[in-house]
């Protein structure tokens, strides 16, 4: 059944005060949060799947299509120049936001998945040979497993997996042991989507660099929650998706150090990535265009720029501090529920609480919570090896964004208690 589209804004008194962050003011920026689902206020706790969009992002998308729709980098006409300017401005916004040295290190892609596939195809085919190794961790999303598996199969290379402990933390000593002269790349998630673990990526990168091994960081679940500076991290590649970061779907970013991007062959062929074509030979365009074949998601790039503006205005440090407190509150509240086990209890966590309830299937939990207006994700979260590691087929996952409130956590707790009553 499609939920009704009526709207209302529900405000309840907080049971424990959180820091000064004005979440109610922030909520005003997200029109969808006024939606009612089955006659109840929407409690949107599926932000790791995709986050909601602030008015500024919606306006930027609308402005592009209503006032400046044209292709980029092609036309000499006024509209095309306007669109090109806005699209390239968005790239500079992302560059500054990530602390990248140059705008040409920012490649617009469809999302984190495409960013990782780009590196697997381009870097992988050039630098990975038979007998080489790619090192990942046991907490990766499928998007940071399967591209490497395909590459390893094609090249006769080997995929190595660094194990995690029972809290869902990477075991650094084991990771260290797996770095060797055959390792061609380390690919590691910054924040696990299934567990919420924040990996010590700075340390991981240093360890890999001590062996001259480049590192790709999958930042899909990190960029909305933590301040990322790619130069401070010294990562070689950093991937994220716009849609988890309050931006549009269908657009994301691959950051890469110029040194690698210059040497890597194109990922796809077509328009925009060429500088000259004859039937005998093609010379490629300069960075970043060498990796952006075809008409890009222009509105998406501009919308992502607006998301950067929004997050910068609210302040990522403020968001991080608020979400940290909210997550701690949620962990305290849900862990009081009898029969509930949190999967993923790392010391450093962001954004996510995954749990199982004794004797109950996550899909049933998700369905009953939905009837209460509470949107969570139930399943393997595209991280099946993580489920296997913890001996569960699936979990229920509540994931948070800057607009979630303590009252919504309380609603989740009440919803879970209702699930237990209904299914008892
Ligand atoms: N995780 C989730 O519900 P895309 O689909 O390309 O925007 O993002 C892929 C991806 C890569 N890495 C991590 C750590 C992710 O969490 C995701 C997407 C969503 O957890 C959808 S499966």
382 is catalytic: yes
- The domains found in the chain, sorted by start residue, are 18-55+315-423 (3.90.1150.10), 57-312 (3.40.640.10)
**Mean pLDDT, range 14-41, rounded to an integer:** 87
Does 111 contact ligand 1 (Cβ within 6 A)? Answer: yes
Residues 6 or more apart in contact with residue 261 via CB below 8 angstroms: 104, 105, 107, 287, 288, 290, 291
> Do 75 and 295 contact (CB within 8 A), yes or no?
no
pLDDT digits (tens, 9 = 90+) for 28-38: 999 999 999 99
> Do 365 and 356 contact (CB within 8 A), yes or no?
no
Residues 6 or more apart in contact with residue 41 via CB below 8 angstroms: 8, 9, 10, 373
Q: Name the residue with higher pLDDT: 351 or 117.
A: 117
Q: Where are the alpha helices (DSSP H) in 128-236?
A: 146-155, 172-178, 201-209, 230-233
| CA dist., res. 12 & res. 17, Å (int) | 12
Q: Which residues pair with 341 in a beta bridge?
A: 356
pLDDT digits (tens, 9 = 90+) for 144-192: 999 999 999 999 999 999 999 999 999 999 999 999 999 999 999 999 9
Buried b (16+ CB within 10 A) or exposed e, 96-134: ebbebeebbbbbbbbbbbbbbbbbbbbbbeeebeeebbb
| CA angle in degrees (0–180, nearest 5) for 89-319-370 | 105
> Do 244 and 50 contact (CB within 8 A), yes or no?
yes
| CA dist., res. 274 & res. 281, Å (int) | 11
DSSP-derived letter for residue 218 is E
Most confident of 1-15, 63-77, 105-119: 105-119
Q: Are strands 215-218 and 183-189 parallel, antiparallel or unpaired?
A: parallel
What does the CA dihedral 256, 261, 267, 272 come to, rounded to 10 degrees?
100
> Both tokens of residue 153?
């199969």
Does 380 contact ligand 1 (Cβ within 6 A)? Answer: no
Q: Which long-range contacts (CB under 8 A, 24 or more apart) does 19-24 make?
A: 19/321, 19/322, 19/325, 21/318, 21/319, 21/321, 21/322, 21/402, 23/322, 23/402, 23/403, 23/404, 23/405, 24/405
CA 124 to ligand 1 centroid distance, Å: 21
Does 214 contact ligand 1 (Cβ within 6 A)? Answer: no
pLDDT value of residue 18: 65
pLDDT value of residue 11: 40
pLDDT value of residue 324: 97
SS3 27: helix
| Catalytic residue selected from 69, 152, 235, 382 | 382
| CA dist., res. 3 & res. 233, Å (int) | 43
Closest CA to 186 of 198, 197, 170: 170
Q: Dmax over Cα atoms in the chain, in whole Å?
A: 71
Closest CA to 319 of 245, 408, 411: 245
Q: Pocket of ligand 1, candidates 108, 136, 220: which has the most ligand atoms within 8 Å of its Cβ, to mutate?
A: 220
Q: From the CA of 191, give the closest atom in ligand 1.
A: 14
């Amino acid at each position: 059944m499609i939920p009704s589209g009526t709207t209302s804004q529900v405000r309840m008194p907080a049971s424990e005060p959180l820091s000064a962050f004005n979440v109610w003011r922030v909520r005003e920026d997200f029109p969808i949060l006024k939606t009612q689902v089955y006659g109840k206020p929407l409690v949107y706790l599926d932000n790791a799947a995709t986050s909601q969009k602030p008015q500024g992002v919606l306006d930027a998308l609308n402005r592009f299509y209503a006032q400046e729709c044209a292709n980029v980098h092609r036309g000499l006409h006024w509209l095309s120049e306007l669109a090109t300017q806005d699209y390239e401005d968005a790239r500079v916004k992302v560059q500054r936001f990530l602390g990248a040295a140059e705008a040409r290190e920012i490649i617009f892609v469809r999302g984190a998945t495409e960013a990782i596939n780009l590196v697997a195809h381009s870097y992988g085919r050039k630098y990975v040979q038979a007998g080489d190794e790619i090192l990942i961790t046991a907490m990766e999303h499928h998007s940071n497993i399967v591209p490497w598996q395909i590459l390893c199969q094609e090249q006769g290379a080997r995929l190595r997996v660094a194990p995690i402990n029972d809290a869902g933390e990477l075991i650094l000593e084991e990771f260290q042991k797996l770095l060797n002269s055959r390792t061609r790349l380390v690919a590691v998630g910054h924040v696990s989507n299934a567990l919420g673990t924040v990996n010590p990526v700075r340390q991981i990168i240093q360890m890999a660099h001590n062996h001259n091994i480049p590192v790709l960081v999958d930042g899909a679940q990190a960029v909305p929650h933590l301040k990322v500076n790619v130069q401070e991290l010294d990562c070689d590649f950093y991937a994220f998706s716009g849609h988890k970061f309050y931006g549009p779907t269908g657009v994301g970013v691959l950051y890469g150090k110029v040194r690698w991007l210059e040497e890597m062959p194109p990922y796809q062929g077509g328009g925009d990535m060429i500088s000259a074509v004859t039937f005998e030979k093609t010379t490629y365009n300069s960075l970043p265009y060498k990796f952006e074949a075809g008409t890009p998601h222009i509105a998406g790039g501009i919308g992502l720029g607006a998301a950067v503006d929004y997050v910068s205005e609210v302040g990522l440090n403020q968001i991080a501090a608020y979400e940290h407190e909210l997550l701690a509150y949620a962990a305290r509240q849900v862990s009081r529920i009898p029969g509930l086990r949190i999967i993923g209890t790392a010391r450093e966590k962001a954004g996510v609480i995954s749990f199982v309830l004794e004797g109950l299937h996550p899909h049933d939990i998700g369905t009953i919570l939905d009837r209460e207006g509470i949107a969570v994700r139930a399943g393997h979260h595209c991280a099946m090896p993580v489920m296997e590691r913890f001996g569960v087929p699936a979990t229920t996952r509540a994931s948070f964004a800057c607009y979630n409130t303590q009252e919504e956590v309380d609603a989740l707790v009440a919803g879970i208690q209702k699930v237990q009553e209904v299914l008892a």
